[in-house]
Amino acid sequence: MITKPKLLLATFNQGKIREYRSLLAGIPYEIVTPADCSIAKEVAENGKTFEENAILKATAMASLSCFLTLADDSGLEADALGGEPGVRSARYAGEKAGDAENIKALLERLKTSPDRHRTAQFRCVIAIAEPHGKVELFSGVCQGMVIDEPRGKHGFGYDPVFYIPELKKTMAELKPEEKNLLSHRARAAEKAREWLINRVG
């Protein structure tokens, strides 16, 4: 039996792990998680950009595991707030904030913004790091707008308030298979997927 090379997903977020297992299904790699590699410590995301944070996580976990490692950083960029929450999306309401608290903080900020335009985008940057340090980057964007009331039960993060006008649904109202056709993470992952397949040859 041919042993597949391992690909470590450098995240402890179970929602992301589920999405990546779906998005990368069928690639010629065995997908593993930090728990599978006995890695318990998260990497500090202290970069100033999505790219910096993705690279930090990918290179740190690749060094610890000695496996090819995929990490991402992603978030919501609201135009009326100058691109916030941006890299602070996961902790917009504080370091220990949950999804509901972050959504509340976002909506409060938008209420007091002089710019009532609600256009926004989800952006994702994926970094894939070799154990020796070489890194490849892939990015994806999904355009939409922020609505005042959460809708939908799927997804995570800001999905319930991210509305896609052409579909007349929030990201959280989309079934996982629908989201995986158009999300920022799906678009970045499609590029990463092609690179991963070509790397094996």
Q: What is the pLDDT of residues 64-83, one digit of tens each?
A: 999 999 999 999 999 999 99
pLDDT of residue 16: 87
pLDDT of residue 15: 82
Task: Using the CB atoms, write b or e for 162-178: b if 16+ within 10 Å.
Answer: bbbeeeebbbbbbeeee
Mean per-residue pLDDT over the chain, rounded:
93
What residue ranges do the domains of the chain occupy? 6-200
pLDDT tens for residues 57-69? Answer: 999 999 999 999 9
- For 152-158, the CB contacts below 8 A with 24+ separation are 154/179, 155/15, 155/179, 156/13, 156/15, 156/99, 157/15, 157/76, 157/89, 157/90, 157/99, 157/102, 158/76, 158/89, 158/99, 158/102, 158/103, 158/106, 158/122
CATH match for 6-200 among 1.20.970.10, 3.40.50.740, 3.40.50.1820, 3.90.950.10:
3.90.950.10
- Could you tell me the pTM of the whole model? 0.90
Q: Could you tell me the mean pLDDT of each successive run of 10 residues in the chain, 201 residues long? A: 88 89 95 93 89 96 96 96 95 92 96 82 97 95 95 92 96 92 94 94 67
pLDDT of residue 138: 98
Which residues does the annotation mark as catalytic? Answer: 73
